[in-house]
Amino acid sequence: MHTSIRNLAMAAAMLTLLPFAPSTAEAQDAPGDFTHIVAEVSPTVVAIIAQRLVSPRAQREGPQRGGPMRPFRGPEPDDAPQQAAAQGSGFVISEDGHIVTNNHVIQEATEIEVLLADGSRVPAELIGTDPATDLAVLQVDELTEGASVASWGDSEALLPGAWTIAIGSPFGLGETVTVGVLSARSRDIRSGPYDEFLQTDASINQGNSGGPLFNTQGEVIGVNTAIFSPTGANVGIGFAVPSRLATLVVDQLIEEGEVRRGFIGVSLQPMTEVLAQAIGHDQAQGVLVSQVVPDGPADDAGLQMGDIILQLDGEDTEMPRDLSMAVAEIAPDTTAVLTILRGDEEMEIEVTVGLRDARERPRPMADAPEDAAPEEERLGLALTPLPGAIRRELGLPDDFGAMIQRVVPGSPAHEAGLRRNDVILEAGAQPVEEPGDIAQAWAQAREENRPLLMRVMRGNASLFVAVSP
C-alpha cells in the first residue's frame, strides 16, 4: 500500500484539517496518570473554525488524490462556491489573546472564529502566517481576565522515550487528550526547507492541526502539524514543529507580522568520502558549495563554487540543512563569518546576510533527443550533445556540455546519483565540450584509480558528483 506524508488535510464532510503528533518529556519516571497536568493546561487549548469558499463537488469528492480519471463535463448546476467550515486546534500564548495554530488550518479563510475553553465562540484576527513552517498567529479580544495561558517548554531537552501529551479537537471532538512518547527528533519529512519535526506516537487525527504537544511539566514543546499515514488516519507516526523553532517564528509574527529569514545565496551539498577523495582531501568535512547565486551576499563576499564551508560564526557545519537553518535564524543585514577551505587553504570570509525571499524552484529539463551517443558501458551513461535550446536557457556558450540520455542501473554513474537529463559541464576539472570528453576523463580516472569529479546542472541547480571506479 502506498504510504505518503499528508499535511493535516480536510476531513471529507467538514474539511477538518489533520494534525498528528505524540511526543516525550524530560526523562523521568512515568506518572501515575496525567489528570493534574490535563486539568492545568486544557483551558489553554482552543478550537479554530475557518470559513472557506468551496465548491459542492469538492466537498462530495473530499481531499482524495490520485483517484481514477473522470471525464470533464463542465460545471454542474449546483457547483457554485459555497461557505464550508474547516476545523483545527490552537492554544493561547498571551493574556492579550494571541493564539498559535497551523497555517493550513486558516489558509484562504474568509472568516476565522475561535471556540474558547469556556464555550464562547469569538471572532479572531489573523496576525501573521509562515507557510514555510506551517505556523500562524491569531488574536482575539474577548479573553476573560485571568484566562489560562500556555507556557513554552524546551523541545531540545526532550529525548526519545519521553512522555508527551496532545490536546485538541479531532473530528470536532473538543478537549480530546491523547498520550504517547517522543519517537524521534529532528525529522525531515521534506514538507519544507526548515523541517526538524518532533515525531510522536500520541494519537493525532483530523482537527488536531495546530494544537499543542505538552511535556509532563505542562509546557508546550511542539505544535502538531502532520502525520505519516497510508489511509489519512492515525497510525502512530505524527509530527510536531518543535518549540525551539516555533517560538522564533511566533515572536516574529507577533512583532512584525511576517518572518524575516537570513539568506546568503548558495546551494549546498554534503561532503562524502568519495567527493572528498575526488577533490583531493583526506577526509570529508564541512559542506560543499555547489552553486553561488549571482550578485547574492555570498557572491559579493567572494565565496566560490567548490569552496567547502567548515564553520559559521565559529560553529562547525556538518550538513547542508543545519547550515541553511542556522543562516535563516540570522537577522538580515548582520555580518556572519564563514570559515572555508579553498583548495588546501583555510580562510575566513565575512558575509553580510541578506533577506530571503520566494525564489523559483528549478524547472525540469526537457527530454533529451533520441539520437544519443553510444553508451560508455564502464561508466554507465548514454550521452548526447547538449541541445541548443537548453544551452541557451542555461546561458552556456556554443559546443559546451553533454546531456545524459540514459543511466545504466547498477553502474558507477547510477551509484553516484547521476540522472537522465542531467547536464554535465565539467569532468575532472576540465570543461566538457562533447560526450567524448567525459569518456576520456573517466578513462584517466580509472587509470589513476581515483573518483571522477563532475559538475552537473540538474534543472536550474548546480551540484558536484563524484563517480568512483
Whole-number Å distance between alpha carbons of 289 and 282: 18
Contact 173, 88 (CB under 8 A): no
Strand 354-355 and strand 262-263: pairing?
antiparallel
Contact 167, 203 (CB under 8 A): no
CA end-to-end distance (rounded Å), the chain: 37
Cell of 266: 548558495
HSE-CB at 386 with a 13 A cutoff on CA atoms is 25
Contact 203, 22 (CB under 8 A): yes
**Which of the residues are catalytic?**
104, 134, 209
- Residues contacting 128, CB < 8 A, separation 6+: 136, 137, 252, 253, 254, 256, 257, 258, 259
CA angle 157, 163, 165 (to 5 degrees): 105
Give 3-state DSSP helix, strand, coil % of the chain, rounded to 5. 20, 35, 45
Contact 134, 102 (CB under 8 A): yes
The identity of residue 3, as a single letter, is: T
Residue 298 CB neighbours (<10 A): 25
Cell of 216: 509532563
Cell of 305: 563554487
What DSSP letter does each residue of 60-109 carry, written as one string?
HHTT--S----------TT-S-EEEEEEEEEEE-STT-EEEEEHHHHTT-
Whole-number Å distance between alpha carbons of 387 and 384: 8
Whole-number Å distance between alpha carbons of 79 and 55: 6
Any idea which residue has 500556555 for its cell?
Answer: 150
Which DSSP state fits 431? E
